[in-house]
Amino acid sequence: MANETLAVRCTDIGVEGMRLELPSNVVSGCQGTVRLHYQNQTFELKVRVARIGPMYCGLEFVCDSHAEKGTVIHLLAILNMPRSRNQISLVPRIDASLNGRLRSD
């Protein structure tokens, strides 16, 4: 929030988005990016806060092109491989101060 990087735990991920355990307060509708690092690959996905619960938030992927949707599908294929589980680092960047606009960093 407000130019802060949050390290969180992803509890579910699919084609439409992901669910994160998130102790901080976020604002519904905020947009940002999630960076996922796996081995020598980095996936940067645009997201929007869609749902908020007591200790979680649901992010939906914001895909502006077929290529971006393809990136999500490629990521899910990698995550579906048995040896890749528990080896992903998530670094979401959600910035409520930009009124729903994506951060440029």
Distance CA(100)–CA(75), nearest Å, equals 25
Q: Note the pLDDT of residue 55.
A: 85
- Sheet with 31-38: list strands edge to edge: 9-13, 17-21, 56-61, 41-52, 31-38, 89-94
Q: Which two tokens stand for residue 48?
A: 């929007």
Residue type at 60 in one-letter notation:
E
The domain locations on the chain are 9-93
CATH superfamily to which 9-93 belongs: predicted glycosyltransferase like domains (2.40.10.220)
Contact 35, 93 (CB under 8 A): yes
pTM: 0.70
Query: What's the pLDDT tens digit per position in 78-102?
Result: 887 765 455 555 555 555 555 444 4
Please compute the mean of the pLDDT values over residues 4-9 and round it to a whole number: 78
Q: Note the pLDDT of residue 101.
A: 46
- 96: three-class secondary structure by DSSP: helix
With vertex at residue 101, the alpha carbon angle to CA 100 and CA 103, rounded to the nearest 5 degrees, is 125
Query: What's the pLDDT tens digit per position in 16-64?
Result: 999 998 766 778 888 888 888 876 788 889 999 999 988 889 999 999 9
